[in-house]
């Protein structure tokens, strides 16, 4: 497997939808290609952080400040 193919299959891999043989090939490639390993781990961490952050409600004060800011910015829209 080459880096380009890893990138083409990345979504399937992360979602657990990749054929087991291709999954093994992808993992073998990452074991031999540090830039791809770092890239995949970064994507996984980003997704994890997004899921965590999106589960936390926005504090009321922040919500109100954001609302006021957007309201002021959009008055002339």
The tens digit of pLDDT for each residue in 39-75 reads 999 999 999 988 877 667 778 999 899 888 888 888 7
Q: How confident is the model at residue 77 (pLDDT cuts 50, 70, 90)?
A: low
Tell me what the pLDDT averaged over the chain comes to.
90
**46, containing H or E segment:** helix 34-55
pTM of the model: 0.65
What CATH architecture is 3-73? Orthogonal Bundle (1.10)
């Amino acid at each position: 497997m080459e880096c380009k193919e890893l990138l083409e299959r990345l979504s399937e891999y992360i979602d657990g939808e990749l054929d087991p043989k291709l999954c093994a090939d992808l993992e073998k490639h990452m074991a031999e290609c540090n830039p791809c390993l770092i890239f995949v781990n970064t994507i996984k961490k980003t997704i994890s952080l997004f899921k965590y952050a999106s589960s936390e409600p926005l504090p009321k004060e922040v919500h109100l400040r954001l609302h006021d800011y957007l309201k002021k910015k959009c008055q002339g829209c």
